[in-house]
Amino acid sequence: MQTKPFRIGTRASPLALAQALEARDRLMAANGLPAEMFEIVVLSTKGDRITDRSLSEIGGKGLFTEELEEQLVSGDLDFAVHSSKDMPTILPEGLYLSAFLPREDPRDAFIGGSAPKLMDLPHGATVGSSSLRRQALIRRLRPDINVITFRGLVDTRLRKLREGQVDATLLAFAGLKRLGKESVVTELLETADFLPAPAQGAIAIESRIGDDRVNSLLETVNDKETYDAVTCERGFLGVLDGSCRTPIAGYASRDGDNIHFRGMVLTPDGSQSHAIEMDGKCVDAKTIGEEAGRQVREKAGSGFFASWG
């Protein structure tokens, strides 16, 4: 019987802490455990500490997970809670994504200062975003506006917007909802027009392969619909690259035993893009995503991907 608290690893940002608390609360409810049986361990990651450059310049997505994963491997943590869209597609040996909490709204939120909607921004307006995917999609829809790299915590970005450093910014609606900041949103961008990042809106739990005590606990909160959708989206991402250096979008939705996937790759300037749609059975979720990735790579041709260098 477990007598020591389960140690939950998380980043230090308010959003990361909110996600860790959601995971803890769901585990408490599902297993009839008191709060004392969980200890939240906060770690600073390189991605949190370096905010003056884009992720692609300093090493990509693993910058938000490395410190947590080191302590998972060593056994100092029992599991770690992450934003799924921040997870590299290749994980350290011995670790895996063992559970996904029910997915929040996957859409991107537009927060406008000089105009309430992306298409209403004046010619030459400046939009700040840290995501290459969002930057490319914005440029695809509005090649006339200026897009700049814009990193930092949610509150930092909102403050910069209020100060007039940019005319607008985009953030994941799921994160704003988890922080209770939905009221700042001036437009929700529908997935049909503005495809989200693979796994956006889903909270992932990472643990050690073979740790049956921990993994049996985590299984109680795993949401199968989210698991299938994110598995499909990460399959697509893995075939194409899966780092923060590539503008890749993808979204899978389930309907009973069936899954529908839409994916897209873009050049950073948004001038070229290739999209794909595929349907199949949920049991084949990963294979569907991977096949979509192979087909879009073939359709785009090697020269298209070389331009990402």
C-beta atoms surrounding 191 within 10 Å: 17
Assign residue 43 the CATH number of its domain. 3.40.190.10
Strand 126-129 and strand 168-172: the pairing is: parallel
pLDDT tens-digit profile of 143-170? 999 999 987 889 999 999 999 999 999 9
User: Residue 242's pLDDT band (boundaries 50, 70, 90)?
Assistant: low
- Cα distance between residue 148 and residue 134, in whole Å: 11
- Name 217's Cβ contacts closer than 8 Å, sequence gap at least 6: 6, 27, 31
Residues 218 and 269 in one domain: no
Residues 168, 110 contacting (CB under 8 angstroms): yes
Residues 12 and 82 in one domain: yes
* pLDDT greater than 90 at residue 302: no
Ranges assigned E (strand) in the chain:
6-11, 38-43, 79-83, 95-100, 108-112, 126-129, 146-149, 168-172, 187-189, 203-208, 248-255, 258-266, 273-281
pLDDT tens-digit profile of 160-200? 999 999 999 999 999 999 999 999 999 999 999 999 999 99
Query: Count of domains in the chain?
Result: 3
Assign residue 281 the CATH number of its domain. 3.30.160.40
pLDDT tens-digit profile of 86-127? 898 999 999 999 999 999 999 999 999 989 999 999 999 999
Residues 61, 88 contacting (CB under 8 angstroms): yes
* pLDDT greater than 70 at residue 1: no
Mean pLDDT confidence for 260-285: 95
Q: Is residue 234 part of a domain?
A: yes
* pLDDT greater than 80 at residue 15: yes
Q: Is residue 17 part of a domain?
A: yes
pLDDT tens-digit profile of 61-73? 555 688 899 999 9
Q: Is residue 241 part of a domain?
A: yes
- Cα distance between residue 259 and residue 261, in whole Å: 7
Of 131, 165, 189, the position where a domain reaches its end is 189
Q: Is residue 154 part of a domain?
A: yes
Residues 129 and 113 in one domain: yes
Residues 91 and 214 in one domain: yes
Residues 146 and 24 in one domain: no
Residues 210 and 230 in one domain: no
Annotation marks residue 120 as catalytic = no
Of 166, 189, 212, the position where a domain reaches its end is 189
Q: Catalytic: which of 25, 78, 86, 108?
A: 86
Q: Is residue 140 part of a domain?
A: yes
- Cα distance between residue 90 and residue 62, in whole Å: 9
161: containing domain? 108-189
What letter does residue 113 receive in the DSSP assignment? S
Task: Strand 248-255: give its sheet, edge to edge.
Answer: 248-255, 258-266, 273-281
Q: Is residue 195 part of a domain?
A: no
**Among 30-44, 53-67, 149-163, the range of highest mean pLDDT:** 30-44
Residues 86 and 41 in one domain: yes
Sign of CA dihedral 168, 14, 132, 284: negative
Q: Is residue 196 part of a domain?
A: no
* pLDDT greater than 70 at residue 48: no
* pLDDT greater than 70 at residue 218: yes
Which one-letter amino acid corresponds to residue 149? Answer: T
Residues 14 and 94 in one domain: yes
Residues 175 and 129 in one domain: yes
Cα-Cα end-to-end distance for the chain: 52
Residues 91 and 36 in one domain: yes
